[in-house]
Amino acid sequence: MTVLTRVSRRRFLQLTGVAAGGLVLGAALPGRAALAGVLEQSSGAALNVFVSIREDGTVEIVAHRSEMGTGIRTSLPQIVADEMEADWQRVRVIQAQANPAYGSQNTDGSRSVRDFYPVMRQMGAAARTLLERAAADAWGVPAAQCAARNHSVVGPDGRTLGFGELAARAATLPMPEPSTLRMKPESDFRYVGHGLPIVDLQDMTVGKATYGIDVHLPEMLYASIERSPWLQGRIKALDADAARTVAGVSEIVELRAVEGPPGFNPIEGVAVLASNTWSALRGRGALQIDWTRSEHSEHDSAAYLDELVARVEGGPGEVRRRRGDVEAALASAQQVVTATYRTPYLAHAPMEPPVATARFSDNGCEVWACTQTPQATRQAVADALGLDVDAVVVHVTLLGGGFGRKSKPDFAVEAARLAAHAGRPVQVVWSREDDIRHDYFHACSAQHFRGALDVGGRVTAWLAREASPPIGATFDTTVSMNSEGGLSQTFASVPFAVPNLQIESHPAPAHVRIGWLRSVYNIPYAFGVGCFVDELAHAARRDPIEFWLALIGDDRLLDFSGEGFSYSNYGRSLEDYPYDTARLAAVIRALADRIPWKTPLPAGQGWGFSVANSFLSNMAVASKVEVRDGRLRVLEMHGALDAGRIVNPDRVHAQMEGGMIFGLSLALNGEITFGGGEAQQSNFHDYPVARMLQVPPLIRTYILPSEAPPSGVGEPPTPPVAPSIANAVFAACGQRIRELPLGRHFNV
Amino acid sequence: MKLTVNGTLRELDCDPEMPLLWALRDLLQLRGTKYGCGKGLCGACTVHLDGKARRSCQVTVAEAGAAAVTTIEGLSADGTHPLQQAWREHNVPQCGYCQPGQLMAASALLTASPTASDDEIRSGMSGNLCRCGTYPRIHAAIKSAQGKVPLADQAGD
Ligand code: FES
Ligand code: FES
């Protein structure tokens, strides 16, 4: 149930830092469950979004989510503008500061449009209703004879009053009851469903867009921090004499870690403050620090992964989902197929590394940050400085990429602590080396599968065991088993119509900060599942796409509750967002229809296919590769997506292109290793991300038309990519690669 | 130290060894040029020195002193360089962070080889990373701007 409330101009100013025009609206909705596995620190359950209209007719729409490249600063306001009949040319988008009045501002989990689409429509409809009533009052006619059209209200005989002229009067009217709001028929949408250019396009092409790293305050110092090379190391000895002599360096500060789990707390380190970034980096390079050892300072990722593999191959784990009798079915099978897959740690590497700026005064702390989580940032800064949360203001800049890294506000806490110490504004700049060595790493994994086939090539049993360090360990070090939310990302939620199925987990204690990265556990699990289905298809001598469709089986709504598994459904109810296998099958068929899947290819080339349901959307990918003389080239990638109703198709295509390239990048190159507790990669030379030369010249994206509620877009394109490429490699050259990245086996 | 940036002579008081990147950003407040790696690996910091693309993180202020430096702010007077227009027609940017570097690299590429083939564009642009994966659109935008880019770098001078 929505409650519409008017907010005062003062309140609007507090929330956005921008003085409001005449009419200010707000909406409150009960909070929504967070994506399982993602800790949310926002205290508020209410959600507020604000529209204001200036006397000159400018409609100001607040973007309360963070722009990291998805186009959300355009897509959400675009819904409001459409529903309220505003002229997009006269809309100004204002970035919200952190405030629980907006409900969750945590921009991850591919849920900005899916959670806020109805709210944005209500906001627009409420504004439109008030404007229509104001016009009716002005003319002394019934409101039913007044209709908003393109920034004006049109009355009887075609008379009109502009939104700007009506704003002051509209602001005095009582708020409409939500139940009385009349929504525009979707067939009348002018903006929703159209690819409006993003509001930041001009700024981004002339170098005027402001990211976290572009914030500059008078008297500001720049800080570079040398952090403990391994988790939970502490400063044992520090020699800063040489650093102090570097021109421009003003101060050296020891940043001690707080005890407890990593959480969003800064890693222990030594900060060098200087008058410019270069001096800070040089001074920091001159530090001599000895670090204490910790229980993680021997972490060796190769040995660790071997151990996880031994565990999943060695015996049964804890059963997480069970149907029928897998052991019996395996014992009586015509053919048993077995495979083990391993995937490495990954780093986010957004093009803009983490950067935050803070200013401390008697009134509290003000922070500017490229953050995906404004409210968690605010809370973390308040906690670190012992301030009331109201004494912390968080300004959200544009993000030069996020991918989940900037959901963790440790870097903003560093800036706040240093600003409080220095008594001057401080900007903390993470170098690329800092970013890669000290990331919240994406979990590595080991997965073991056994499949039983009957004489007809049908799957009669599916056994899957995994071990992967859980995100939960970052917040509670006693956690070592992946959560239901984690396993709900493909591994335990496989949509297969097989009579016997069992999903098991083994523990995998964390030795590094584990975090979520674009599409999260779907990355390793869709790789394991997507490759193993392909292996079964080949064992059964069936076409892989037809085999997938057979394995998914009849059209039905999935419900795992009878099998002991509590499926997260990405925080939404199965009533609102059913897991419908008909839609999954439809993306497979749509893609299969668009690629020459069965046309014979020259020797050394092959097609590979995979599909994944994630973030309530379905995405299928087919890749065509060539393997020749040890060199692997991806020649084509095609993706089909069903993400329900689409608000901005151009941005959805862009997310598909980008998400697929992200998947290609991790499939070919992505790997972080640890030795002696330290990440062994540090920059783009040893942690390569895809370059234009690696990207297939042909990438095609198809969006399935749908009137279902909007579902995730930013993450779903990534998971099926890696298995599609590995499967294509098998088709091309007969080599079955069961680990990532593929660059371990081929020249990529 | 002296630098000629976007047609204007600027004086700065700094270590001659300071990379041009940080001098532009921190001392001259020209923040369109971005930091991405500091090692010449990503191209986010690309500027023109006498019309040629250079990684500003790999050029010292002293080295840049003799050259005409052009940054994204000076690529065109009003944001209407044919590539900037093509970037907008193709809705290239996602997060946008790498795009100043991409535009500077692309403009130098087309100035040097106006008829660059698809493969030449791919290799010519491969020093510039885009973590968001806007490569297909960058490629398409460059193609559509071919023939429209002035032969001499028009920026700032
Ligand atoms: S910052 Fe200069 S090439 Fe990356
Ligand atoms: S647009 Fe984000 S890095 Fe290129």
Q: What is the pLDDT of residues B87-99, one digit of tens each?
A: 999 999 999 999 9
Lowest mean pLDDT among A51-60, A634-643, B72-81: A51-60
C-alpha A550: how far from chain center? 31
Strand partners of residue A319: A504
Specify the pLDDT at position A34.
22
C-alpha to C-alpha distance for A554 and A263, rounded to whole angstroms: 44
Q: Which domain holds residue A672?
A: 301-347+440-744
Residue A201 included in any domain: yes
pLDDT bucket at A315, cuts 50 / 70 / 90: very high
Is B32–A208 a contact, with Cβ atoms under 8 angstroms apart? yes
Specify the pLDDT at position A512.
98
Q: For residue A522, give the amino acid letter.
A: N
Is B131–A214 a contact, with Cβ atoms under 8 angstroms apart? no
Q: Across residues A614-636, what is the average pLDDT? A: 98
At residue A95, does pLDDT exceed 80? yes
A216 and A202 assigned to the same domain = no
* Averaged pLDDT score across all residues of chain A: 92
A290 and A325 assigned to the same domain = no
Contacts of B103 in chain A (CB under 8 A): 205
Contacts of B94 in chain A (CB under 8 A): 69-71, 654-655, 658
B77 in contact with A, Cβ within 8 Å: no
A480 and A421 assigned to the same domain = no
C-alpha to C-alpha distance for A720 and A652, rounded to whole angstroms: 17
At residue A496, does pLDDT exceed 80? yes
A58 and A91 assigned to the same domain = yes
Most A CBs within 10 Å: which of B48, B95, B134, as the mutation test of the A interface?
B95
C-alpha to C-alpha distance for A387 and A358, rounded to whole angstroms: 14
Q: Is A40 helix (H, G, I), strand (E, B) or coil?
A: coil
Specify the pLDDT at position A43.
24
Most B CBs within 10 Å: which of A107, A278, A437, A517, as the mutation test of the B interface?
A278
When CB atoms are compared, the residue of B95, B122, B132 closest to A692 is: B122
User: pTM value?
Assistant: 0.94
A201 in contact with B, Cβ within 8 Å: yes
Pick the CATH number of B2-74 from 3.40.190.10, 1.10.10.10, 3.30.590.10, 3.10.20.30: 3.10.20.30
Q: Please give the order of strands across the beta sheet that includes A152-154.
A: A147-149, A152-154, A160-162
The two structure tokens encoding residue A482: 């992946």
Domain parsing of chain B, residue ranges: 2-74, 82-145
Q: For residue B37, give the amino acid letter.
A: C
Specify the pLDDT at position A145.
96
Task: Supply φ then ψ for residue A13, to 5 degrees.
Answer: -60, -45
Q: Across residues A456-461, what is the average pLDDT? A: 97
At residue A102, does pLDDT exceed 80? no
Across the A:B interface, residue pairs with CB atoms under 8 Å apart total: 175
8 Å CB contact between A640 and A741 = no
Show which of A177, A206, A235 is a domain's final residue: A206
How far CA A405 is from CA of A75, A222, A411, A525, B28, in Å, comes to: 22, 21, 10, 20, 30
8 Å CB contact between B43 and B55 = yes
3-state SS of chain B: helix, strand, coil percent to 5?
35, 15, 50
Is pLDDT larger for residue A385 or for residue A54?
Answer: A385
How close B44 comes to chain A (CA, Å)? Answer: 8
Q: Across residues A367-371, what is the average pLDDT? A: 97
A692 in contact with B, Cβ within 8 Å: yes
At residue A483, does pLDDT exceed 50? yes
Q: Into how many domains does chain A fold?
A: 3
How close A333 comes to chain B (CA, Å)? Answer: 45
Residue A607 included in any domain: yes
At residue A32, does pLDDT exceed 60? no
A733 and A607 assigned to the same domain = yes
A306 and A289 assigned to the same domain = no
- DSSP annotation of B60 reads B
A557 and A684 assigned to the same domain = yes
Is B126–A211 a contact, with Cβ atoms under 8 angstroms apart? no
Å from CA of A279 to ligand 2 middle: 27
Specify the pLDDT at position A1.
34
Residue A318 included in any domain: yes
Contacts of B31 in chain A (CB under 8 A): 207, 210, 213-214, 216
Residue A568: CATH number of its domain: 3.30.365.10
A274 in contact with B, Cβ within 8 Å: no
C-alpha to C-alpha distance for A294 and A333, rounded to whole angstroms: 48
B136 in contact with A, Cβ within 8 Å: yes
Tell which atom from ligand 2 comes closest to the C-alpha of B96.
Answer: 1
Specify the pLDDT at position A20.
53
A341 and A380 assigned to the same domain = no
Closest CA to A685 of A402, A229, A280, A349: A349
Half-sphere exposure of A198 (CA within 13 A, CB side): 29
Residue A281 included in any domain: yes
How close A82 comes to chain B (CA, Å)? Answer: 21
When CB atoms are compared, the residue of B95, B99, B131 closest to A349 is: B131
C-alpha to C-alpha distance for B147 and B114, rounded to whole angstroms: 6
8 Å CB contact between A54 and A70 = no
A261 and A335 assigned to the same domain = no
* Averaged pLDDT score across all residues of chain B: 94
Is pLDDT larger for residue A200 or for residue A113?
Answer: A200
How close B87 comes to chain A (CA, Å)? Answer: 7
Q: Across residues B18-32, what is the average pLDDT? A: 98
Please name the residue ranges forming H helices in A512-623.
522-539, 544-552, 581-594
Specify the pLDDT at position A62.
82
Specify the pLDDT at position A111.
81
C-alpha to C-alpha distance for A307 and A295, rounded to whole angstroms: 17
- Residues A148-191 have pLDDT tens digits of 999 999 999 999 999 999 988 887 888 787 788 899 998 999 99
Q: For a substitution probing ligand 1, which of B25, B55, B102, B128 has the most ligand atoms within 8 Å of its CB? A: B55
Specify the pLDDT at position B152.
55
Å from CA of A518 to ligand 2 middle: 15
Is pLDDT larger for residue A309 or for residue A11?
Answer: A309
Considering the domain B82-145 in this protein, what is its CATH number? 1.10.150.120
From the CA of A403, the nearest ligand is 2
Question: How buried is residue A175: exposed, middle or buried, by Cβ count under 10 Å (0-12/13-18/19+)?
Answer: middle
Q: Please give the order of strands across the beta sheet that includes B8-11.
A: B8-11, B2-5, B68-70, B46-49, B52-55
- DSSP annotation of B27 reads I
A208 in contact with B, Cβ within 8 Å: yes
When CB atoms are compared, the residue of B42, B44, B136 closest to A657 is: B136
At residue A36, does pLDDT exceed 50? no
C-alpha to C-alpha distance for A276 and A215, rounded to whole angstroms: 13
C-alpha to C-alpha distance for A669 and A576, rounded to whole angstroms: 38
Is B73–A206 a contact, with Cβ atoms under 8 angstroms apart? yes
C-alpha to C-alpha distance for B48 and B24, rounded to whole angstroms: 13
pLDDT bucket at A467, cuts 50 / 70 / 90: very high
Is A205–B138 a contact, with Cβ atoms under 8 angstroms apart? no
Residue A434 included in any domain: no
- Residues A432-453 have pLDDT tens digits of 999 999 999 999 999 999 999 9
- Residues A539-584 have pLDDT tens digits of 999 999 999 999 999 999 999 999 999 999 999 999 999 999 999 9
Q: For a substitution probing ligand 2, which of A351, A406, A662, A692 has the most ligand atoms within 8 Å of its CB? A: A351
Is A206–B84 a contact, with Cβ atoms under 8 angstroms apart? yes
At residue A116, does pLDDT exceed 90? no
H/E segment holding residue A5: strand A3-5
pLDDT bucket at A623, cuts 50 / 70 / 90: very high
Show which of A206, A236, A271 is a domain's final residue: A206
Specify the pLDDT at position A12.
62
Specify the pLDDT at position A4.
56
- Residues A394-414 have pLDDT tens digits of 999 999 999 999 999 999 999
C-alpha to C-alpha distance for A473 and A465, rounded to whole angstroms: 20
ipTM of the complex: 0.96
- Residues B33-67 have pLDDT tens digits of 999 999 999 999 999 999 999 999 999 999 999 99
Residue ranges lining ligand 1, Cβ < 6 Å: B 35-38, 40-45, 55, 57
A75 and A151 assigned to the same domain = yes
At residue A27, does pLDDT exceed 60? no
Residue ranges lining ligand 2, Cβ < 6 Å: A 69, 351, 401; B 93-99, 130-132, 134
| Percentage of chain A modeled with pLDDT above 90 | 83
Q: Across residues B143-149, what is the average pLDDT? A: 90
How far CA A442 is from CA of A469, A477, A517, in Å, comes to: 9, 16, 6
A269 and A320 assigned to the same domain = no
